[in-house]
Chains A and B, each alone.
Chain A
């Protein structure tokens, strides 16, 4: 899947992030290739979410270059930013849905902001997104507070997909979901990637997700990233990476993937 000749859609060079005296990233380089699913892993506090926030422009780094679609996102005017912002979608950890709006209205926010279209069509498109992310049809009229955590994540993804972006950023998409819901979410991301040709930038802790959907994995260690396919990283000798992939949980995730069993079934059987 990783075609090395393909253009990078995200290019990070020499990134330095510092909070007070704490250096989180120190000269970090990263390329994300169009059409791939890249997983970002790392220990707690290693700056996974900070990296995501930096790329989408929510955090200003101390130093470094961040280019998305070949454009420098740190040094651009507001109108240039808008042109880029409708080409990506972001799913925050708990969905970050606007609590005063229904799910359907949440999905319509970016549509309203960027396009002048009849209300009825907007309602239809938001209903299509609700269906695509696998929410029940009546979810559209509900408020975020009425949804479960997993449904909020799906609704957040529906909003992130509202404009059919080229890149979606997912911040821990399966955290806090039960194994069945997490497996379904993995499958959803895989399907959407196949049908929409999405590039997916995913911060995750979930080893199963890594094995199930990621083409390449970037590991944040020593304030930089080590990037590679899973096979490459499995052979890496760095102590953190080794214990991450070869620890008990890493082994289980690898086995279940190698057995080519779909995870929903394995996990629902396991407790018995």
Chain B
């Protein structure tokens, strides 16, 4: 770009101001020309001649600069004369002129920086949350209605779709859920053993593992992994179908999207997550027992015996009992956010992220609710 050169000279000639432009007036030289044109000092009320004889090449950026200069000078009370433009460049100048002397579009407002703006933002978000909660409640109602109708007429239940969901959300998730549960068992056993050894109570590591994994960690790990893995997939799948107008197509054919898309996913996940939780519990305990054996010398038979002594009968069931509720939350949010997608690809990504965050948030809130509930029941 070094060879590109544009020049601008000004002088007075028989009472009128002459601005002579020459060289290549292109987008590449526009920044420099812009600076010099803005620095141009012409007193108002004069006759100004824009002499363009020297211009070899012109593009629309250069043409704009010429027209802007003409416009600025005219509004300051000068009379402006454009002359000597080469005939082959004239159409371009006319084309740009036809576009009009434009005022640049305002850029979108940056985020609120003032205190008022901050408060307003809090208000906006609060209202958004309420509106959203209301919409989710509505969706919850619609889904319950359809699900209940399908339970009364099980023939309309789409078994193939349901089984596909069980495979995708359950069977395909076995490796990742297994690996992470195993590692959580190992970590928990190691930390527990480390602390309890100080009291000579290493054997209670087993109690810690049993209660921790069976009541909380097994089901939470499974639910969080599934929220990230399948809840997001639900939003992305349904959202993409919204973008492609597939949902609308379904409606015109007389298919109910809730029946076809939501119910199989919901039932599939409600069936799958308890099984995954059971699996996560077992693998977590295997991991814990492995660590207990390695660092405390507690052999697997000892581990099992201690586990049997330490557990209340319902400890095992508490985790499993929570899992279908978590599954319901994850599937409901995943599908709901999918239906919120507008007709743009961008919103698919945004809502997928949102659906995962919301699902994990609600799962943990629900888990806390369960803890309160069980402590009232004293189990």
A121 lies within 8 A of B31 (CB):
yes
Nearest A-chain residue to B108, judged by Cβ: A102
Please name all residues of chain A whose beta carbon is closer than 8 Å to the beta carbon of B31 when the two chains form the complex: 115-118, 121
Contact of A128 among B96, B106, B344, B345 (CB under 8 A): B96
A97 CB, nearest partner CB in chain B, Å:
11
Q: Given that A115-B31, A131-B100, A164-B61 are known contacts, is A123 also in contact with B344, CB under 8 Å in the complex? A: no
Interface string of B81-102 (1 = CB under 8 A from A): 0000000000110111011101
Q: Is B375 an interface residue (CB 8 A)?
A: no
Q: Given that A103-B105, A137-B100, A145-B342 are known contacts, is A132 also in contact with B60, CB under 8 Å in the complex? A: yes
Interface string of A158-192 (1 = CB under 8 A from B): 00010110000000000000000000000000011
Interface string of A182-215 (1 = CB under 8 A from B): 0000000001101110000000000000000000
CA distance A102 to B107 in the complex (A): 8
A132 lies within 8 A of B95 (CB):
yes
A163 lies within 8 A of B27 (CB):
yes
B344 lies within 8 A of A124 (CB):
no
Q: Given that A99-B346, A132-B99 are known contacts, is A126 also in contact with B105, CB under 8 Å in the complex? A: yes
Please name all residues of chain A whose beta carbon is closer than 8 Å to the beta carbon of B98 when the two chains form the complex: 131-132
Please name all residues of chain B whose beta carbon is closer than 8 Å to the beta carbon of A141 when the two chains form the complex: 105-108
Please name all residues of chain B whose beta carbon is closer than 8 Å to the beta carbon of A127 when the two chains form the complex: 102-105
Q: Is A113 an interface residue (CB 8 A)?
A: no
Please name all residues of chain B whose beta carbon is closer than 8 Å to the beta carbon of A139 when the two chains form the complex: 105
B96 lies within 8 A of A115 (CB):
no
Q: Which of A111, A120, A131, A139 has the most CB of B within 10 A?
A: A131
Q: Is A90 an interface residue (CB 8 A)?
A: no
Please name all residues of chain B whose beta carbon is closer than 8 Å to the beta carbon of A195 when the two chains form the complex: 91-92, 94-95
Contact of A124 among B28, B68, B343 (CB under 8 A): B68
CA distance A164 to B64 in the complex (A): 12
Q: Is A140 an interface residue (CB 8 A)?
A: yes
Contact of B105 among A102, A117, A120, A144 (CB under 8 A): A102
CA distance A115 to B59 in the complex (A): 15
Interface string of A124-149 (1 = CB under 8 A from B): 11111111100001111100110000
Q: Is A100 an interface residue (CB 8 A)?
A: yes
Q: Is B30 an interface residue (CB 8 A)?
A: yes
Interface residues of A in 73-103 (CB under 8 A from B): 99-100, 102-103
Interface size class of A (residues with CB under 8 A): 35 or more
Q: Is B216 an interface residue (CB 8 A)?
A: no
- Overall SS of chain A's interface: helix
CA distance A204 to B151 in the complex (A): 53
B27 lies within 8 A of A115 (CB):
yes
CA distance A99 to B30 in the complex (A): 28
Please name all residues of chain B whose beta carbon is closer than 8 Å to the beta carbon of A103 when the two chains form the complex: 105
A124 lies within 8 A of B346 (CB):
no
B60 lies within 8 A of A120 (CB):
no
CA distance A123 to B103 in the complex (A): 9
Number of residues on chain B facing chain A (CB within 8 A): 32
Q: Given that A115-B27, A191-B95 are known contacts, is A164 also in contact with B59, CB under 8 Å in the complex? A: yes
Q: Which of A100, A103, A104 has the most CB of B within 10 A?
A: A104
CA distance A52 to B29 in the complex (A): 30
CA distance A144 to B347 in the complex (A): 13
Q: Given that A115-B28, A121-B30, A164-B27 are known contacts, is A132 also in contact with B96, CB under 8 Å in the complex? A: yes
A124 lies within 8 A of B105 (CB):
no
Q: Is B358 an interface residue (CB 8 A)?
A: no
B306 CB, nearest partner CB in chain A, Å:
57
Nearest A-chain residue to B32, judged by Cβ: A117
B105 lies within 8 A of A99 (CB):
no
Q: Which of B30, B92, B102 has the most CB of A within 10 A?
A: B102
A262 CB, nearest partner CB in chain B, Å:
17
CA distance A130 to B60 in the complex (A): 12
Q: Is A105 an interface residue (CB 8 A)?
A: yes
Q: Is B34 an interface residue (CB 8 A)?
A: yes
Please name all residues of chain B whose beta carbon is closer than 8 Å to the beta carbon of A118 when the two chains form the complex: 31, 34-35
CA distance A116 to B96 in the complex (A): 23
CA distance A153 to B26 in the complex (A): 25
B344 lies within 8 A of A137 (CB):
no
Contact of A145 among B105, B106, B344 (CB under 8 A): B344
Nearest A-chain residue to B88, judged by Cβ: A197
B102 lies within 8 A of A164 (CB):
no
B105 lies within 8 A of A196 (CB):
no
Please name all residues of chain A whose beta carbon is closer than 8 Å to the beta carbon of B344 when the two chains form the complex: 99, 144-145
CA distance A186 to B51 in the complex (A): 34
Please name all residues of chain B whose beta carbon is closer than 8 Å to the beta carbon of A124 when the two chains form the complex: 64, 68, 102, 104
Nearest B-chain residue to A122, judged by Cβ: B104
Nearest A-chain residue to B106, judged by Cβ: A141
Please name all residues of chain A whose beta carbon is closer than 8 Å to the beta carbon of B91 when the two chains form the complex: 194-195
B104 lies within 8 A of A131 (CB):
no
A117 lies within 8 A of B342 (CB):
no
A120 CB, nearest partner CB in chain B, Å:
7
Please name all residues of chain B whose beta carbon is closer than 8 Å to the beta carbon of A102 when the two chains form the complex: 105, 107-108
B27 lies within 8 A of A99 (CB):
no
B34 lies within 8 A of A128 (CB):
no
Nearest B-chain residue to A161, judged by Cβ: B60
CA distance A124 to B59 in the complex (A): 14
Q: Which of A137, A161, A195 has the most CB of B within 10 A?
A: A195
CA distance A99 to B60 in the complex (A): 26
Given contacts A128-B61, A128-B64, 7 further A-B contacts (CB under 8 A): A102-B108, A115-B30, A130-B99, A131-B96, A138-B105, A145-B342, A145-B343
The 7 A-B pairs at the shortest CB distance, nearest first, are namely A131-B99, A140-B105, A123-B104, A164-B59, A117-B31, A127-B102, A141-B105
Residues of B within 8 A of A (CB): 26-28, 30-31, 34-35, 59-61, 64, 68, 91-92, 94-96, 98-100, 102-108, 342-346
Residues of A within 8 A of B (CB): 99-100, 102-105, 111, 115-118, 120-121, 123-132, 137-141, 144-145, 161, 163-164, 191-192, 194-196
